[in-house]
Every structure is written in structure tokens, then in C-alpha cells.
């Protein structure tokens, strides 16, 4: 009897201590010969990745190739891991390519970005799982999928998990389609930054700090405009913000469905924006971001940092800090939360300004006084909770009246 007890208890104890851990995996090492293949590949080649788990210690790089397909056996069957990375910041890095297709494999646990594509004309990322496998942690790399300075970018049916910056990200690119992807446990689920001619549709973003972001930031090589965001399911993006201070996404309040920052000519329609506790869709200027950073700097007693941020974007003559030509219409908003997240200044502001009723749509009300023709318009159901902060005038013109933003004017 007693020995039975010990046996059972032992099993329970051992079971309980191992169950939270993922089973140990066996990884093969094909690093050197795969890197050799990528360097020696001839234009037009297809490189087939076998089924299995493969461990890498340095970035796998493909540069200057055209018409190459790298194809695995599926996002759960061909797994490339950089858990033991000792060199290079990226997992996979594709540069200076033309018409490159990467599909049907997983990229895990790179020290920096899991999959970066730079200076490439024509890049498709399809059915790729890009993940940090220890869950959402600040130690995770920045971007799961990271095409930048590229044209003709297609990301579809991918899965991004655990980025300490943005999961599915595109930056400084043009002609971009981001469709039918899924992103969770990232600070930003999906982000388009300083990119133009972008369509973001059919995606599901949940359990991120912010669901879908369209940002234009100062000081970069090029600026964005003309983005359509439609038919996305953006729900429950209430994860705590685990981004590193100093990064722009560190200022996203947990509970942000969509955030449109300082860009223009953007249509947001036909999306389901559900249970994002702080705000459904926020339309803000870079001035607000700078002002928030300003508070932080003063309290730190550091150098007049926000001033520098201000000076920075104001001295960038090509940059427009104010969102305009933003159309928000025919979306489906709902929010079962009564309180916004209080982990951020914006969240605290919302609590006081919209008590027990976090807004579906928020506009910071900061616009270019010299350009009254530049508008934003909102055309949603009558139940819409709307806030115009009028942040540029110390909230004096704070208003919940959405009628003046009607698209029918």
C-alpha cells in the first residue's frame, strides 16, 4: 500500500514538474551545406528543405539571387531554429534579390530578427511560421517577418508569434500585400511602417499589445502613404507591452486594436475590431508620441530627450507629422471591457476622458493648422464611441461628437 502511494506520488510529482516544459527536440545540423547551397545557387533554382528540425548557429544568408524558391515541407514539419545562435543577428537574411519565394517552413528563436529581407524586388513569404518559442518575453528578437527597403512584397498565410517589436512587419517598401496571416503574443501584431501602396486584409491579430499599426516615422529613407486595411479580425489585443524602451512601439498602450500614426491616404473598413480594451482604432499624430516621450524624459531627469525627438522630426522637411485623408468606415466595433489598460499614459488619459467606456475610435485632434483641407473622416454605426482628444490644445476642445467627421460632408 505504502509503496503504491510512493509510486503514484512520484508519477504525479514528476509529471507536474515536467509538464510545463516543451518536450526536448532533436535537431539535425545541415548548416554548412545549406549555406553553401544558398551561396552557390543558380538563378532559377528551387532549394528544397527536408522535413525535420534543424539547428543553426549563424545567420543563413542569401544575397543577390533571382528567381529562387526555398521550400520546406510545412510550417510544422520543417523547423529551422537559431536557439543556439552565436553569430549574426538574423535567422534568415535575404538581400538584393529579385523574385524570391520562401514558403512552408518555420523559423524560430533568432537573437535579432527571425527573417529579414532587404533591398529585394519581389519577395513572397508564404505559410511561414516565425516564432520565439518561450512565449512573449523582452529577450525575444524584434521582428518575426521583416521585409524592408523592398518592392512587390507578399506575405500570406504566415504565423508570427512572440516578437518584442512587430510580428508581421513591412518597412520602407512599396507595393505590399499582407493577407490571411495570423499574429499573436507580439508587441505589434502587424505593422506597416513608412511604406506605400499597401493592402492589409483577411488577417487575424489577437493577444498582441497592438493589433494592426500603420505608422509613418521621421528620419527614414522614405515615407509612406496609401494603405487599405480591411476584412481583418483584430481582437483581444490586450497583452502587456514588453518592447524595449526607446523603441517606438514601447509607447503603444496595451489594448490597442489599430493605430494609425502620422500617415495619410489610408482606408480602414469592414474590419472586426473586438475587445481591445483601451481603444479600437486610434488615429494620432507624431506630436502626441513626442509629447508622451517628453513626459517620460523629464521624469527620468535625463537630457531633454523629447525636445530632441521634436527637433528631429521638425527638422525633417519631407516628414508630415499629422495623419490625414484617413477614412474609417463600416467596421464592426465592440468592447466588453470597462476600463482601458492603465499601463500607459494614453490609457490613463482615456480612463479620465471616457470613464467606463473606452473609445472605439480615438483621434488626437492634432492637425496641420495651415492645411484645413486635410481631413480625417469617420462613418460608423450610431453606437460608435468616439473621442477627439484635441491634444494639441491641452484637451480644451475635447469632444465625443463624431458628426463633424462625417465622410458625407
Partner 1 sequence: MRGYLLWILCVLAACQRSQTADTVLAEESLPGADISAFGPPTLSSYGLFKGELKNLEPSNGVYPYEINSALFSDYAFKKRFIFMPSGMQMKYHKAETLDFPDGTILIKNFYYPADFRKPEQARRILETRLLILEKDSWKPLVYVWNVEQTEAHLEIAGRNLPVKWIHYDGGERSIQYAVPTLNQCKGCHLKGDKVAPIGPSARQLNRIAAVIGKNQLVHWKEDGILADLPDINSVPQLAAYDDETRDVASRARAWLEINCAHCHREDGPAKNSGLILTAEEKSMLPLGIGKAPVAAGKGSGDRNFDIVPGKPDESILLYRIESVDPGVMMPEVGRSIVHKEGVILVRKWIEGLAKTQ
Strand partners, 362: 282, 387
Q: Contacts with partner 1: how many residues (CB under 8 A)?
A: 79
Q: Are 227 and 267 in contact (CB under 8 A)?
A: yes
Q: Are 405 and 374 in contact (CB under 8 A)?
A: no
Residue in 46, 134, 135, 245 binding partner 1, rule: CB under 8 A: 245
| Under rule CB under 8 A, residue 328 binds partner 1 | no
Q: Which is nearer to partner 1, 149 or 234 (CB)?
A: 149
Q: Which is nearer to partner 1, 81 or 344 (CB)?
A: 81
| Under rule CB under 8 A, residue 25 binds partner 1 | yes
Torsion of CA 37, 42, 44, 47, to 10 degrees: -10
Q: Are 74 and 104 in contact (CB under 8 A)?
A: yes
Q: Are 155 and 201 in contact (CB under 8 A)?
A: no
Residue in 8, 29, 298, 397 binding partner 1, rule: CB under 8 A: 29
| Under rule CB under 8 A, residue 121 binds partner 1 | no
Q: Which is nearer to partner 1, 148 or 159 (CB)?
A: 148
Rule CB under 8 A: which of 48-67 touch partner 1? 50, 55, 57-58, 61-64
CA 66 from chain center: how many Å?
Answer: 28
Output the DSSP codes for 331-368: -EEE---SS---SSHHHHHHHHHSTT---SEEE-----
- Using N-to-C axis directions, what is the helix angle for 305-314 and 286-300, rounded to 10°? 160
Q: How far is the CB of 240 from partner 1 (least distance, A)?
A: 15
| Under rule CB under 8 A, residue 406 binds partner 1 | no
Please list, in sequence order, all residues whose beta carbon lies within 8 angstroms of the beta carbon of residue 169, skipping any fewer than 6 positions away. Answer: 143, 144, 145, 146, 147, 163, 188, 190, 191, 192, 193
Backbone angle region of 330, left / alpha / beta, with phi > 0 → left and psi within -120 to 50 → alpha: left
Sign of CA dihedral 339, 342, 344, 345: positive
Q: How far is the CB of 118 from partner 1 (least distance, A)?
A: 8
Q: Are 235 and 333 in contact (CB under 8 A)?
A: no
Rule CB under 8 A: which of 281-300 touch partner 1? 293, 297
Residue in 130, 150, 172, 385 binding partner 1, rule: CB under 8 A: 172
Rule CB under 8 A: which of 122-151 touch partner 1? 138-143, 148-149
Output the DSSP codes for 361-392: EEE-----TT-TT--EEEE--TT--EEE--GG
| Under rule CB under 8 A, residue 7 binds partner 1 | no
Q: How far is the CB of 73 from partner 1 (least distance, A)?
A: 14
| Under rule CB under 8 A, residue 27 binds partner 1 | yes
| Under rule CB under 8 A, residue 224 binds partner 1 | no
With residue 4 as reference, give the H or E element that holds it.
helix 2-18
* Binding range to partner 1, per CB under 8 A, among 23-31, 320-328, 362-370, 400-408: 23-31
Q: How far is the CB of 85 from partner 1 (least distance, A)?
A: 5
Residue in 69, 220, 342, 377 binding partner 1, rule: CB under 8 A: 220
Q: How far is the CB of 348 from partner 1 (least distance, A)?
A: 21
Residue in 44, 219, 295, 397 binding partner 1, rule: CB under 8 A: 219
The 301-320 contact track toward partner 1, x by CB under 8 A, reads -xx-x--xx-xx--x-----
Distances (CA, A) of 284 to 183, 263, 323, 343: 23, 9, 7, 19
* Binding range to partner 1, per CB under 8 A, among 154-162, 165-173, 349-357, 367-375: 165-173
Q: Which is nearer to partner 1, 141 or 359 (CB)?
A: 141
* Binding range to partner 1, per CB under 8 A, among 21-29, 177-185, 333-341, 375-383: 21-29
Residue in 4, 6, 299, 409 binding partner 1, rule: CB under 8 A: 6
Strand partners, 179: 156, 201
Amino acid at each position: 500500500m505504502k509503496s503504491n502511494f510512493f509510486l503514484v506520488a512520484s508519477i504525479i510529482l514528476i509529471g507536474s514538474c515536467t509538464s510545463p516544459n516543451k518536450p526536448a527536440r532533436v535537431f539535425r545540423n545541415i548548416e554548412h551545406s545549406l549555406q553553401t547551397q544558398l551561396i552557390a545557387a543558380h538563378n532559377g533554382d528551387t532549394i528544397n528543405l527536408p522535413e525535420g528540425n534543424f539547428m543553426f548557429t549563424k545567420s543563413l544568408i542569401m544575397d543577390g539571387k533571382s528567381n529562387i524558391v526555398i521550400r520546406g515541407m510545412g510550417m510544422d514539419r520543417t523547423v529551422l531554429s537559431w536557439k543556439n545562435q552565436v553569430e549574426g543577428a538574423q535567422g534568415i537574411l535575404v538581400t538584393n534579390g529579385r523574385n524570391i519565394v520562401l514558403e512552408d517552413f518555420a523559423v524560430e528563436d533568432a537573437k535579432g530578427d527571425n527573417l529579414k529581407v532587404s533591398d529585394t524586388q519581389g519577395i513572397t513569404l508564404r505559410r511561414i511560421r516565425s516564432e520565439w518559442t518561450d512565449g512573449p518575453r523582452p529577450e525575444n528578437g524584434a521582428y518575426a517577418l521583416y521585409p524592408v527597403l523592398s518592392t512587390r512584397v507578399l506575405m500570406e498565410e504566415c504565423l508570427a508569434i512572440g516578437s518584442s517589436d512587430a510580428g508581421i512587419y513591412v518597412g520602407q517598401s512599396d507595393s505590399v500585400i499582407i493577407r490571411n496571416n495570423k499574429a499573436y503574443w507580439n508587441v505589434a501584431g502587424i505593422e506597416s511602417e513608412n511604406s506605400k501602396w499597401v493592402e492589409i486584409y483577411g488577417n487575424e491579430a489577437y493577444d498582441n499589445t497592438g493589433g494592426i499599426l500603420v505608422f509613418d516615422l521621421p528620419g527614414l529613407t522614405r515615407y509612406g502613404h496609401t494603405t487599405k486595411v480591411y476584412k481583418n479580425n483584430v481582437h483581444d489585443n490586450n497583452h502587456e507591452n514588453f518592447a524595449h524602451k526607446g523603441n517606438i512601439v514601447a509607447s503603444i498602450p496595451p489594448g490597442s486594436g489599430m493605430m494609425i500614426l502620422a500617415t495619410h491616404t489610408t482606408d480602414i473598413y469592414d474590419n472586426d475590431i473586438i475587445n481591445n480594451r483601451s481603444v479600437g482604432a486610434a488615429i494620432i499624430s507624431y506630436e502626441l508620441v513626442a509629447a508622451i516621450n517628453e513626459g517620460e524624459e523629464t521624469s527620468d531627469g535625463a537630457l531633454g530627450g523629447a525636445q530632441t525627438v521634436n527637433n528631429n522630426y521638425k527638422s525633417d522637411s519631407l516628414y508630415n507629422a499629422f495623419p490625414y485623408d484617413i477614412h474609417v468606415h463600416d467596421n464592426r466595433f465592440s468592447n466588453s471591457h470597462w476600463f482601458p489598460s492603465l499601463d500607459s499614459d494614453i490609457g490613463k488619459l482615456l480612463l479620465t476622458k471616457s470613464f467606463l467606456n473606452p473609445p472605439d475610435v480615438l483621434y488626437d485632434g492634432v492637425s496641420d493648422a495651415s492645411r484645413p483641407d486635410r481631413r480625417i473622416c469617420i462613418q460608423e454605426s450610431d453606437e460608435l464611441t468616439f473621442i477627439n482628444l484635441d491634444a494639441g490644445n491641452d484637451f480644451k476642445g475635447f469632444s465625443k461628437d463624431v458628426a463633424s467627421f462625417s465622410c458625407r460632408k
